[in-house]
Structure 1
Amino acid sequence: MSDHSTKPIKPNRVSPNSMPVDLSVEGTQRMGESSHPQLYHAAVTVESLDAEGLGTIDPETSEELLYTFDPTHDHTHGKSVLPKAAAILPRTDEVPALTMPNRDESVAYAKSREDSRLGKRWWKRPSPYWLLVIQLGSALSMGMGIAPKTEIFNHLACIVHYPYASDFPTTPPVQSNPVIPSPPMPSPSQPDEVVSSSFDQTSFALTRISIRGLFDFSIDPKENTKGGLGSEGQPERSVDPLLCRKSPVVQAAAAKFTTSMSIFQGVLAALTTGWWGRLSDKWGRTRILSIAMVGIIFNDIVFIVTARYPTSVPGGYRFLFIGPIFDGLLGGMPTLSATNQAYVADCTPDGTRAQIFSRLVGVMMVGFALGPIVGAAIIRYSSDVLSVFYVACALHIFTLFIVLFILPESLSTGAKDSLAKMARVREHEIQNQEELERRWEEEEEEDDVLAGNSGWSRLSGVVQTRAAKRSRGVIRRLVKRVFGFLSPLAIFLPVVDENDPKGRKNWNLTFVAMGLSFLMFMMGVLSVKFQYTQLMFGWGPAELSPLLTVIGSLRGANLLIFLPLTVRYFKPKHNGKRPEQFSLSDKISDSRFDLKLIQVSLMLDIIAYFGIILFSGPRFFIASTMLSTLGGGAGPALNSLALSLLPSSRIAGRLFGATSVLSAIVSTVAAPLLFGITYAYTTRVFPKAIFVLSATTLSLALFSLSMIRLDRPLPPLEDAPTEPLLAEPREEERGRPRTPKSVNGRSDISLSTQ
């Protein structure tokens, strides 16, 4: 090999010795079309960064990383004149793109992380246990507000949509709670008369007092609400809260309103989560956590102001949209969840995160269980529903204080610098790729032989003109920018199975993504499920709070006690082997156990929803809901199964990023939209349609996950290193590098390996 000087890659200059190279999967295929044979084998040295932080291509240095480009990829402008190499080089589209950061930076990062942890006192040392306090406070505030928020949304809709006699069905609905009698049905002969009831309320007296103090129904909304009824001088309209709950018109209006807010918040969160995630690699995890908490606090304040003064704020109850929009722009819950995962990954060793995540989920379930009890006690003491949201907002402010002034930052200065360098390199890769594409679009095909154009191609007009190539290039780059936030989902695409002699594709991760999407989709049933209890049983916060406590307690007990015991006594034993000593058959048996656990959990959930569909009455509803808590093991088991199906644990971060994007799209956008619309348009005809949709969704999840095939040996999860962390690795086996974790699930350098 001839001598070449190592030069930085410049965006607007291409030299034979230092070529801009796109190191993605598509880029390696495209670069095969280059007329520079020295790009056939290029060693990428990430550590050689100049003052601008730009990577270099050093053809002589091939000891660290070696990537082979396949020049046989055909493009529409002609075939490559380089010799075919398909016989000796594997196709880049047959293997998943693995991210391999530079080893020296990985070792330096690991060493600086350990030194920073050992050199600090315990209250300045990053630890996942700090998140337990934050998780408990967030879950507690969320649990306190579920039932009261449903009640307030219902009464905000009731201000505009008063319950008339024509709103109620001709036949009484299903018998409500036996403790609370159903309200008397209005006489059909008076369709325009406002309904009011004077029946004796025993267990609901508390809610009646708090709502009367919150809303004065004798005051019409202002004109800018576009929903006011009546005018000054008309008799006062007194509407009982229970009648608002039992009105299908009010329920439909509340469902449409909450669905609209969820869509606004979900779409904005899905579009901004990746950007905030990349920014956390530069600014640190705690700063992004605090920004997300500011959005949540602002949403709380908007909700309190609108609920307290619904006829005074601009736009009436539509003023509530400002809170979710602002919260979504600051990332919302998807950003908060992804940053929490990145914080745990930053300050915990490999192989222990599953236990930490399970504890975080367990603490969250404890908060959900305690929240309704605390909320009911606050309402009973203050006789005001909004007092719950005052306390919840105070908890969020307290959490923000902890994040800003107490929570230690998990990314050290060295780790931030390393991530920033890799981000600059990746940004420069994108610039180089676009530069090469633009040059190709401006190429003139002077020699048809060199361009690979046959006589038939010239006569038939198959060869593209410069304008056509330029148009396609602009469209391709535009689509890539618009849908770039979906790029982490590429990890779920099927890949060619190396263990299959016929070369068939492995669809296991694709089926996992489908099953995970259906499970996330079930998040949409929660809000309308509580509205269903209002419509059919007349339940309010006084009845929903104990039910939520029971559900949260059972689900937490299932995740913290029953599920671990099931794993302990029924999971295949491996004779005391450590995880790094597991054989392929051991890992397959573990994956099969996870799959069976998922299937059993889903079947219990499906049976529970069929129980709600087939039987009527509050007792069957409560029993079926309690049965569904036993299906809570599907989520953790599916995460474990997905990790075991990865071709390498080095791309576990990409899996977290892909699931975050999936959650932002499905659970915060698609699920609330479909469940909200379904409930809004079926309240009069068949209110149980939402449970039919739930059972169908769970059945599709069960079917998708049943398509997973574990009959062939799986690739090893990781190459277990036998040498110390700082020792030189063997050439044939390298340990897993300890790399800075990226919140968006992607490494900031994408190097395609063959």
Structure 2
Amino acid sequence: MPSSPSLSEDLPGLPPGPNETLQPPSAARHLENHPEHEAERTWKGPAPWWLMALTSFNRIIWGLTFMARFRLYSQLLYLQVHVTGGFIQNTRPFFEPYLAEKNAHLIHSSRDDPVQVSMVIDLFSVSFLVTEILTLLTLAWWGSFSDRYGRKRMLGIASIAQLLSCLMVLLVANYVQVLPGAYVYWFLIFDIIILGALGGTESEFVTVLAYLSDVSMGEKRSRLFTVVLGLVWAGSSIDVKLGDFVLQKTSSLLWVFYTAAALRIIHACLVWFILPESLTREQMHRTTVAHQETHLSTTSEPLPLLWFKRLFFFLKPLSMLFPEKVSPANSPVRRDWSLTILVAASATMVLVSSPLAVFQWFYALDKFGWEKLSNYIPLISNARIISLVLILLCKIYSLHKSDGQEATLSAHKLLNGSQGSRLLSTPDVSITSLFDLGVARLSVLVIIATYIILPLAPTETIFTLFSVLQTLGAGFYPVTNSLAFELYTGGIKRNGLVESGKFFATLHLVFIVVP
């Protein structure tokens, strides 16, 4: 006999009734008594492999245009230095193969012109600054948007933004001869603004993490995060070769962007028409109602405080990372600092490793020369893939298999109060979480040790070997993301409301602010 729906399921603010079964808050929990979930039992339903394929495909498209975009910007800005009467003359030699040889001296001089080099550096500096500022202001909002309106819609909007970016570059390159002087520069900046206003590439990545969290439980989540990161690096080893292939066949930079635009159209169609939604209508409705209630509660506050909060609205989501009060059985109320400490440790690693990684590339270039290290980048990418996909995943899989994937050291505790039942949970200390914590600690030690010994490398071979050893610490970021989400859902006190999109956006917001 089917069970009747309970009042607490329809109204998230009420405590569970006496005959209801309490379930831990989890973004992967789908209620089977709703007809819209029937498709989840088939291949058409939300599953991790959808995102694995799309993430690798998207990374290949992004990397396809990265170096080509730098070269194209360099040529376009060189043309700005040679403007006559506000209009650019004779621009096609830079883009048409049959005129390239005839004007080879112009192309060569564009690489050595200090004014042109300075303009390229200024453009990329402004682009980076604008993107970071806009991402800082909008990333958490787009993460919350994916919680309220679905992961599919957020990924679809991001795919359209990436397509518009390619089309904007093609527009400027094809009509550069009729655009007055500085308009070319500002059109390129506008391209960056489009991406930054949508949260940059970070918004797409955090939505992918949220999607994977929706369709996986704790014991599988860290493996999925690791696989996705490995696929991103696998795509980075393919995109350069694909870009070189297109350039060799066409001898034109514009054809690289035409190819990328065509692939972007395919990617957008796959997201909008094929990718299944991971959230149910009930989950999106609950998040929307909670968002509206929060907004209404803030409007009743004093005007000075209201204006202050609106001024620093982008910092409000950081409250999700603050320590929360917990009340274990027979213990006084205290604050759980686990999530805050983990985020602070991860941010410290980003703060230290990001500038050191940049310095590592320049150090190798200065000491050994680029000719001797021509295979350095693909070798490191392949080493990271091996470290993640073969070593880390095999260990996690064997550990899960031996322990039955279900072993836990502590469980949720139910306390009955005079006003009704309340679920006060302590986070599950699972074998998976302990293993992830061990991987994170080992990764930190590996990264610190390799950065210490890298300057001592006497030859380029030893330097490359040390760099390969450094990739053994590549598991730090996927496992810390998984651990942070496990702590967030384990200590949550929001009546089962899990805003995974907003959480991952807030987590990566910290990583953006720190460097």
Give the TM-score, by structure 1 length.
Answer: 0.52
Q: CA deviation at 1:655?
A: 6.7
Which residue number corresponds to residue 517 of structure 1?
A: 347
Are 1:377 and 2:245 matched, yes or no?
yes
Contact 1:159–1:217, Cα closer than 8 Å, also in 2: no
Report what 1:289 is aligned to. 155
Aligned: 1:657 with 2:502: yes
Taking the aligned partners of 2:40 and 2:443, their CA distance within structure 1 comes to: 44
RMSD (Å), alpha carbons: 4.8
CA change 1:305–1:624 in 2 (3 A) is farther
Residues 307-706 of structure 1 aligned to structure 2 (within 5 Å): 313-314=179-180, 315=182, 316-348=184-216, 351-431=219-299, 434=300, 437=301, 473-494=302-323, 507-521=337-351, 522=353, 539=370, 546-567=375-396, 576=403, 578-583=405-410, 587=429, 593-610=435-452, 613=455, 619=461, 622-643=464-485, 645-646=487-488, 648=490, 650=492, 653=498, 657-664=502-509, 666-667=511-512, 671=515
With over 3 angstroms needed to count, the CA separation of the structure-2 counterparts of 1:614 and 1:552, relative to structure 1, is same
Distance 1:496 1:122, change over 3 A: closer
Once residues 158 and 50 of structure 2 are traced to their aligned partners in structure 1, the CA distance between those partners, rounded to angstroms, is: 17
Question: 2: CA distance between counterparts of 1:659 and 1:599?
Answer: 21
Find the aligned partners of 1:306 and 1:525 in 2 and give their Cα distance: 36
CA distance in 2 between counterparts of 1:339 and 1:135 reads 11
Mapped partners of 1:537, 1:157: distance in 2:
31
Question: What amino acid sits opposite 1:132 in the alignment?
Answer: M
Amino acid at match of 2:241: I
Task: Tell me what 1:303 maps to.
Answer: 169
Residues 95, 252 of structure 2: 8 Å contact kept? no
Flag the 1:413–1:152 CA change in 2: closer, same or farther, 3 A.
Answer: same
How far has the Cα of 1:538 moved from its partner?
Answer: 7.1
Q: Deviations over 1:431-461 (max 9, x none)?
A: 4xx1xx4xxxxxxxxxxxxxxxxxxxxxxxx
Determine the structure 1 residue equivalent to 2:422: none
Amino acid at match of 1:287: R
Give the counterpart of 2:61 among 135, 141, 145. 141
1:586 CA drift (Å): 10
The offset of 1:368, in angstroms, is: 1.6
CA distance in 2, matches of 1:575, 1:130: 28
Provide the C-alpha distance between the structure 1 equivalents of 2:81 and 2:461, rounded to a whole number of angstroms.
30
Structure 1 distance, partners of 2:237, 2:322, is 38
Rg comparison, structure with higher value: 1
2:138 to 257, 264, 272: 272
Distance across 2 between alignment mates of 1:395 and 1:582: 47
Greater relative contact order (Cα < 8 A, sep 6+): 2
1:389 aligns to what SS in structure 2? helix
1:287 alignment partner, SS class? helix
- Letter of the 2:305 counterpart: R
Quick check: 1:270–1:665 contact (8 Å CA) kept in 2? no
Match of 1:172 in 2: none
Q: CA deviation at 1:395?
A: 1.6
Return the offset for 1:129: 1.9
Identity %: 23
Unaligned runs of 5+ residues in structure 2 are 1-6, 83-93, 412-426
Q: Post-superposition shift, 1:644?
A: 5.3
For 1:550 and 1:329, locate their aligned partners in 2 and report how far apart those are by CA, in whole Å: 35
Q: Pick closer, same or farther for the CA change 1:647–1:112 going to 2, 3 Å.
A: closer
Number of residues paired by the alignment?
472
Does residue 100 of structure 2 align to residue 213 of structure 1? Answer: yes
Residue aligned with 2:109, SS: coil
Query: CA offsets per residue over residues 22-72 of structure 1, 9 Å max, x none?
Result: xxxxxxxxxxxxxxxxxxxxxx978469xxxxx8xxxxx97759xxxxxxx
TM-score, scaled relative to structure 2: 0.73
Tell me, which stretches of 5 or more residues in structure 1 are unaligned?
1-43, 50-54, 56-60, 66-100, 163-206, 219-235, 438-472, 672-754
Q: Give the 3 Å change call, closer, same or farther, for CA 640–120 of structure 1 in structure 2.
A: closer
In 1, the alpha carbon distance for the partners of 2:175 and 2:355 equals 29
**Deviation per residue, 1:148-206 (Å, 9 max, x gap):** 444445556666799xxxxxxxxxxxxxxxxxxxxxxxxxxxxxxxxxxxxxxxxxxxx
Of stretches 560-569 and 208-217 in structure 1, the one that deviates more from structure 2 is 208-217
Measure how far apart 1:559 and its partner are: 0.6
2:477 maps to a residue whose letter is G
Q: Distance in 2 between matches of 1:374 and 1:331?
A: 27
The residue type equivalent to 1:405 in the other structure is F
Instruction: Give the corresponding residue for 2:123.
Output: 257
Structure-2 change in CA distance of 1:332 and 1:430 (3 Å): same
Q: Which residue of the partner structure matches residue 125 of structure 1?
A: 45
Report the CA distance between 1:324 and its aligned residue: 1.2
Q: Go from structure 1 to structure 2 and tell me whether the alpha carbon gap of 1:160 and 1:154 turns closer, same or farther (over 3 Å shift).
A: same
CA distance in 2, matches of 1:600, 1:413: 41
Name 1:111's counterpart in structure 2. 32
Q: Relative to 1, partners in 2 of residues 1:252 and 1:536: Cα closer, same or farther, differing over 3 Å?
A: farther
For residues 610 and 108 of structure 1, the distance between their equivalents in structure 2, rounded to whole angstroms, comes to 45
- What is the 5 A alignment of 1:30-45? none
Distance 1:527 1:391, change over 3 A: farther
Q: Judging changes above 3 Å, is the alpha-carbon distance between structure 1 residues 645 and 62 closer, same or farther for their aligned structure 2 residues?
A: closer
SS at match of 1:239: helix
Determine helix, strand or coil for the equivalent of 2:46. Answer: coil
1:239 deviation in Å? 2.0
